[in-house]
Amino acid sequence: MINQTGMINNKPDSALMQWLWRALVACFAAILIQRYFDVLDSYEIAITIFVALGLIALGQNWSGFRLHIIVTGLLSFWAISRYGDDLSLASTDFLLNFILASQSAIMWMSALFVMATFTYFGGLLFRSSFTEKVASVLTWSATTMGLVGLMVRWRESYLISADVGHIPVSNLYEVFILFSIITALLYLFYERRYQTRSLGGFVLLIVSAAVVFQLWYAFGKQAHEIQPLVPALQSYWMKIHVPANFVGYGAFSMAAMMGFAYLLKSWRQKTNQQGLLATALPDLAIIDDLMYKAIALGFAFFTVATVLGALWAAEAWGGYWSWDPKETWALIVWLNYAAWLHMRMTKGWNGEPMAWWAVIGLFVTLFAFLGVNMFLSGLHSYGEL
Amino acid sequence: MSEKSTSSRSNQTFGRRLFLFLGTMDLAITLLLVLAVASVIGTVLQQNQPYTDYMIKFGPFWFELFEQAGLYDVYSSLWFLAILVLLVISTSICVTRNTPRMLQDMLSFRSQIQEKSLRAMQHSKQWTVNNSIENSLDDAETELKKQGFRVRRKEKDNQVIISSMRGGMNRLGYIFTHLAIIVICIGGLFDSNLYLKLAEWQGKIKIETRNLATADVPDISRLAVGKQAFRGSIHIPEGRSSDHVFIAVRDGYLVQKLPFRVEVKDFRIEHYPTGQPKSFESDLVVYDDDLAQPLETTISVNHPLIYKGYAIYQASFSDGGTGLELQVWPLSYQTESAEVDVSIDVFERRKMQWGKSSLQLEITSFRPFNINPDPTEDDPNNLRDFGPSFGYKLRSETGEASEYINYMLPVPRKGREFYLSGVRSSPAEEFGYLYLPIGEEGDLSEFNAFLATLRDSEQVNAVARTMMLETLSTVADGRNEKLEQVLQDTLVMLIKMFTEGGFTVVTQFIETTLPEAEKEALGPAYLGMLRQMLARLYFNSLEGVDTSTVSDEQLLFLQDAVDAIGSFSRYGAPVYLSLSNYNHIQASGLQIAQSPGKSTVYFGCALLIIGVFLLFYVPQRRLWLCFSKKGDTVELILAGMSNRDPREFEQFFETMFQQLKLTIGQRHSK
Ligand code: HEM
């Protein structure tokens, strides 16, 4: 086991493990398709297969992810079978009420993410790799509870009534949870691959911010209540368009936090070479590299998401591009990062200016994600504040 | 002759310079950012709103300026288009210039490379084995192939060089992404309204801004059937059909002809229990001479019909001219005439003569039911069905109009039930509500009977007389005919004033007409007598009801009725309209579009996605293995390079080195 910050950890898992994992996911996907064959349309079957392939690819060399998916599956299944057909159990059944009902699971996720943030920073402060490992475990747990929360919520929406049921990525509240989960998972991926636990606190800072917003949104605005879908959202496109978008948003946010860490470190290196930040954070070159990787990943998924959005718009609004504010802001975000990538790849810029740009990029992204809903009106007004 | 050639040469150099400039990376990056910033404008300023709205918002000066700058429709303005065109040109030049290099890089194994260069590479290892090399070559190649490398072997003199490459597709990624941008923009151009702009400049078409019946729209504002892109919309009432759509352009529209006729047979909305819409569907029939039989189909949101390349979408809905049967309840003296029924359609306008007031009735909306938060309660979660509603305007001869909305299901309030009618004098205001109390019959007849009694001068006179006699008997002994007459007239007048203007007018009357000295005593006395009279008249109006015992309900009803009458003056209308029956006709809002560039754009999108993933996730890696015989021994050089992700490559190179060393060494030790 290589264990040195920045060293690439890409050792494949044993072939047996890999095959077991593939078989497990394939079996599960097959059961799912077989069981719901009557209600799934061909697109949804294709999406299920696609998701299964994605899980296989991600999990075959990543034991943490395998465990995460298995535990999520078991907990969700447990909660769902506990519910049976009775949604009111959410507040009377002990297990559901306190742990596994979607709202409870999401509260656990929130608490765990905030704890993980503090723990990561604690680990950084005391230079304790044990504490940092605890922080990783907390992050994994938070991600798991969050995903359980979404899975159970999915089921709960069907328990309200069959026609209300829908995948929980349909409004601002739900996508905020999705955002937290995806950003954390992206970070965990890079953490394992590049052994960079000292960056955890920075990335989880933005996740915690999302968590705080989502709590305010739930308690202040009752946004957590499951609402039926407006007709425009009743489409299989939503199942792929939204998650793809959030891989983009999550990756861009992560890049911005890397940029932030970069700037902090390079500032401290100039002012206090022996200081904590200057010594405990990974090499600038490594942070820079991670920042680039995150933006590349974000750009790729954002491209896919925007194209999917265009395909969907062609079906729902009568044109693949309408210059609707959300669409236009997606384009702005995309152009911004395209310019960033060119600056870096073709003009060879790196270091501080690019880190600043990545941080500024977060505000552009944030506006596309939140600002448009808050300040502008358009066809996309599904999650108004 | 010679002059010409010089000038053409200088032209050429200028052209060449321009070409180079347009292809620079700096320009490309600048354009990307400029385009991003320009796009912001159209999201901050709401696009394609009615021009009057902009006028109100910005005032005449800025309105004009913004209009000149095309800010109301940024994305089809010339300057925006110019940026896009520049970007396409820049990308095209970039692609043309780079493609040969990229292709070469993709295909060439660079097997001509010199030993010297291999040694000089950043990733380069050397070691020596002391055996012949023949056997090791195959093993080395197998090892490389196992890692996904394609290999070329080149032998010369005492040297063998194995060149290998993996991920050549990366370079294709560059070509794909950049070609995709060009393809998408060209496809988008086909689907833009550029051709409309051109036709407008040439004077071939003219935007119509007047509100005309379709048949009256002049030919210059009509577009014939063709291959061109458009996106138009139309509202078709159930049972009706259309063979054209309207294209909104700036502050006007154009009429686009369709090569077929669409009929909306039926339009349906389904609702969730909470009242939110669940689905919008239209049953369509498409008539076309090319069809053996009309095409019947159902479309809904997210499920358009594609016919002959025209896509027909369910976009919205509206009222299609629902027929309403209205009952007219007179509220004021002027409209004393008994209630009349009116049959009128939604969107119809009709002159009405109600008593002295001559008003134009304009029905503006109808909804068969309204599940809304109760506006009279603070709890927004308290949803309730307010029943059918219809909205209308009453426009006076001077053109001023008040807007009304009447709900047809009774609304309970403090245990009693009322009909609600909202009124406002401008769309900017909130509705204020009139509460009409519902009597025991379950309708307005009791209230109406009370109102009729108040207007019945005989009954009012009789009651006034009784009141007057009772009052005077306590004050004066002996009769004073003059005083009697004055008091009785005053009482009658009070009732009249109250019915027209409520308590405000009555108090005003007391304030202004009574002598200062008597105000103190007489004011309250008048009000007391007015109330008494209202009560008596109310009980008079209860025909066939035993009035000897007074119930609480009756008193409450009286109070509600008096409250309602008291607010007539604020309500403004001389009549209250209720709905006795309706024939619901909806209109389906269809959007019909033709986009000839769509498949081009989709093709571009596919290129883009493939290209981006190739660029990011298929790094191009090269490894060279050079075997040189040096006497008994063989000197080996392993060198490599990658066009991205140097850190990953470093590690990869290290493992490959160990692996190859082992492989080649193994054979050797055998
Ligand atoms: C909307 C317009 C454009 C988009 C979306 C775009 C997109 C991209 C992307 C995603 C990359 C990969 C960056 C990376 O490897 O990290 C790239 C690379 C590149 N782009 Fe563009 N590009 C655009 C316009 C241009 C223009 C106008 C030029 C030329 C002036 C250009 C020249 C290049 C070059 C030379 C590379 C590097 C290729 C390599 O060596 O791998 N691009 N572009």
Among A221, A252, A279, which residue terminates a domain? A221
pLDDT at A203: 97
The answer to whether the CB atoms of B274 and A372 lie below 8 A apart is no
Among A221, A239, A261, which residue terminates a domain? A221
pLDDT at B6: 44
Of A7, A228, A343, the CB nearest to B272: A228
pLDDT > 70? residue B336 = no
Of B29, B302, B648, the CB nearest to A234: B302
pLDDT, tens digit (0-9, with 9 covering 90-100), for B439-494: 887 888 888 888 888 888 888 888 888 888 887 777 656 667 788 888 888 888 88
pLDDT, tens digit (0-9, with 9 covering 90-100), for B106-157: 999 988 888 899 999 999 999 888 766 777 888 889 989 999 999 999 988 8
pLDDT, tens digit (0-9, with 9 covering 90-100), for A53-70: 999 999 999 999 999 999
Q: In this prediction, what percent of chain B has a pLDDT beyond 70?
A: 93
Which A residues, 291 through 320, put their C-beta within 8 Å of a C-beta on chain B?
A: 296-297, 299-300, 303-304, 307, 310-311, 314-320
CA B189 centroid distance within chain? 24
Residue A98 per-residue DSSP state: I
pTM of the model: 0.85
Identify the band that residue B13 occupies on the pLDDT scale cut at 50, 70 and 90.
confident
**Which domain, by its residues, includes A260?**
230-385
Domains with residue ranges and CATH for chain B: 2-104 (no CATH), 111-167+619-669 (3.30.160.110), 204-317+587-596 (2.60.98), 323-440+579-583 (no CATH), 450-578 (no CATH)
Identify the band that residue B4 occupies on the pLDDT scale cut at 50, 70 and 90.
very low
- Let me know whether A24 and A111 are in one domain: no
Has residue A91 been placed in a domain?
yes
Substitution target from A8, A302, A327, A347 for chain B, most B beta carbons within 10 A: A8
Identify the band that residue B378 occupies on the pLDDT scale cut at 50, 70 and 90.
low
pLDDT, tens digit (0-9, with 9 covering 90-100), for B355-364: 778 889 999 9
Report yes or no: A234 at the B interface, CB cutoff 8 Å.
yes
- Let me know whether A190 and A273 are in one domain: no
Q: Report how far residue A147's alpha carbon sits from residue B518's, in angstroms, rounded to the nearest whole number.
A: 81
Of A164, A310, A323, the CB nearest to B605: A310
pLDDT, tens digit (0-9, with 9 covering 90-100), for B491-504: 888 888 888 778 88
pLDDT at B7: 46
- Let me know whether A93 and A206 are in one domain: yes
Q: Report how far residue A229's alpha carbon sits from residue A168's, in angstroms, rounded to the nearest whole number.
A: 10
Among B141, B166, B143, residue whose Cα is nearest residue B155: B141
pLDDT at A156: 93
Bridge partners, B296 (sequence order): B285
- Let me know whether A88 and A214 are in one domain: yes
- Let me know whether A368 and A302 are in one domain: yes
- Let me know whether A163 and A304 are in one domain: no
Q: Report how far residue A139's alpha carbon sits from residue A333's, in angstroms, rounded to the nearest whole number.
A: 28
Report yes or no: B44 at the A interface, CB cutoff 8 Å.
yes
Strand, helix or coil for residue A68 = helix
- Let me know whether A234 and A383 are in one domain: yes
| Torsions phi, psi for A213 (to 5 deg) | -60, -45
pLDDT > 90? residue B548 = no
Write the DSSP string, B184-218. Answer: HHHHHHHTSSHHHHHHHHTTS---B-S---GGGS-
- Let me know whether A261 and A147 are in one domain: no
Instruction: Give burial (CB, 10 Å; 0-12/13-18/19+) of A371.
Output: middle
Identify the band that residue A273 occupies on the pLDDT scale cut at 50, 70 and 90.
confident
- Let me know whether A213 and A261 are in one domain: no
Quote the ipTM score.
0.93
pLDDT > 70? residue B663 = yes
Q: In this prediction, what percent of chain A has a pLDDT beyond 70?
A: 96
Identify the band that residue B370 occupies on the pLDDT scale cut at 50, 70 and 90.
confident
If you measure from the C-alpha of residue A232 to the centroid of ligand 1, how many angstroms do you get, rounded to a whole number?
35
**Mean pLDDT taken over chain B:** 86
Among A221, A245, A266, which residue terminates a domain? A221
pLDDT average, residue stretch A13-36: 94
Q: Report how far residue B329's alpha carbon sits from residue B344's, in angstroms, rounded to the nearest whole number.
A: 16
Token pair listed for A216: 């305010």
pLDDT > 80? residue B424 = yes
Q: Report how far residue A298's alpha carbon sits from residue A362's, in angstroms, rounded to the nearest whole number.
A: 12
pLDDT > 80? residue A226 = yes
Contacts of A289 in chain B (CB under 8 A): 647
Contacts of A321 in chain B (CB under 8 A): 188
pLDDT at B377: 58
pLDDT at B2: 40
Strand, helix or coil for residue B353 = strand
- Let me know whether A105 and A175 are in one domain: yes
pLDDT at A162: 86
- Let me know whether A105 and A189 are in one domain: yes
Which is more confident, B341 or B219? B219
CA B104 centroid distance within chain? 50
Which is more confident, B448 or A212? A212
Domain count, chain A: 3
Among A315, A361, A377, residue whose Cα is nearest residue B48: A377
Q: How many CB atoms lie within 10 A of CB B130?
A: 10
Token pair listed for B278: 């669940």
pLDDT > 60? residue A2 = no
pLDDT at A1: 34
- Let me know whether A120 and A56 are in one domain: no
